[in-house]
Structure 1
Amino acid sequence: MAKRIQLVLNQDISKLGRNGDLVEVAPGYARNYLLPKKMATFATPGLLKQVERRRELERQRQLELKQQAQEQQATLEKATGLKIAKQVGENEAIFGTVTTQDIVDAIKAAINLEIDKRGITIPDIGKLGTYEAEIKLHSEVTAKINIEVIAS
């Protein structure tokens, strides 16, 4: 059986690796597909150093993002008085629903912090009261906040 060839990927390839990854592939796959389409290049010592430097920079960037997310988490969890006003019917039932955009607006008004609404998870809110919402700020950092739904 032929030996495998080490290549560095120039772009993401599903089931093989991401841009900059060092992979071992069969010689035919490299010669007939990856190299002619410029999806990969031969792994040279200089190229491996560049890849390692890129990985280190990416790791530092991710660490900074995590620190920023932890600071935002502390700010959010200290915040009190997040109120959302909704119209109320019988038995304190609200009309409509409390959306993630409502929560983003309440946070913006209370502590002037921009949050991505796609990272917010809220329970089903159908009545007045206090509810807990989770905000995913980073893959490893999640903040829990209390939201009070009041009558408008």
Structure 2
Amino acid sequence: MAKRVKVVLNEDILSLGKDGDLVEVAPGYARNFLLPYDKALPVTPAVLKQVEHRRAKQAELEASLKQEAIDFQTALVTIGRFTVKKQIGEDEVLFGTVTNGDVAEAIEEATKKEIDRRNITVPEIHRTGKYKVQVKLHSEVTAEINLEVLSY
């Protein structure tokens, strides 16, 4: 009997791998759990061809998403400056602070494209003035934008 069996996963399994991965498992694990519950397929030339096709499609999708992020980064740099208006008190001190949600709204107003506020890194801003803000557009693409904080 074989010591290990090769299978292709149909879904993500926490300690084993991700969907589409080729893994070696114990024959009993494959026979009693993975194969009956359609969590994996036995390795055949046709299945390997499908896996390669799926990986090529995924790589193509990743490349297009990265290019889209680079294009949006260029658009953000072209715009130049984004403004956020806040209420101020004495000595140009803001009531509250400028949050990443405020920056996301300013970007959305200017570009008509929604950005997740969790991908925006804002320095501590408690006064009016000009600041640099980091916006993560893709795992490999980050834009640095100029933010101007003004009073009402």
- Kindly report structure 1 stretches of 4+ aligned residues shifted beyond 4 Å: none
Question: How far apart are residue 123 of structure 1 and its match?
Answer: 0.8
Q: How does 1:1-150 map to 2 (within 5 A)?
A: 2-150=2-150
Question: How far apart are residue 80 of structure 1 and its match?
Answer: 2.3
* Structure 1 unaligned residues grouped into runs of 5+: none
- CA deviations 1:95-137 (Å, max 9, x no partner) are 0221222112212333333322221111111111111111110
* Contact 1:8-1:40 at 8 Å conserved across structures: yes
Question: How far apart are residue 64 of structure 1 and its match?
Answer: 0.3
Letter matched to residue 109 of structure 1: E
Question: How far apart are residue 18 of structure 1 and its match?
Answer: 0.8
Q: How many residues end up aligned between the 2 structures?
A: 152
Deviates more, 1:106-115 or 1:17-26: 106-115
Question: How far apart are residue 2 of structure 1 and its match?
Answer: 4.2
Please give the alpha-carbon distance, in whole angstroms, between the structure 1 residues aligned to 2:80 and 2:137. 18
**What TM-score does the superposition give when structure 1 sets the normalisation length?**
0.93
- CA deviations 1:34-74 (Å, max 9, x no partner) are 12222111011001100100000000000000000000011
- CA deviations 1:81-107 (Å, max 9, x no partner) are 311111111121100221222112212
Please give the alpha-carbon distance, in whole angstroms, between the structure 1 residues aligned to 2:35 and 2:14. 16
* C-alpha RMSD of matched pairs (Å): 1.4
* Contact 1:8-1:43 at 8 Å conserved across structures: yes
1:24 is paired with a residue of what secondary structure? Answer: strand
* Contact 2:81-2:145 at 8 Å conserved across structures: no
**What TM-score does the superposition give when structure 2 sets the normalisation length?**
0.93
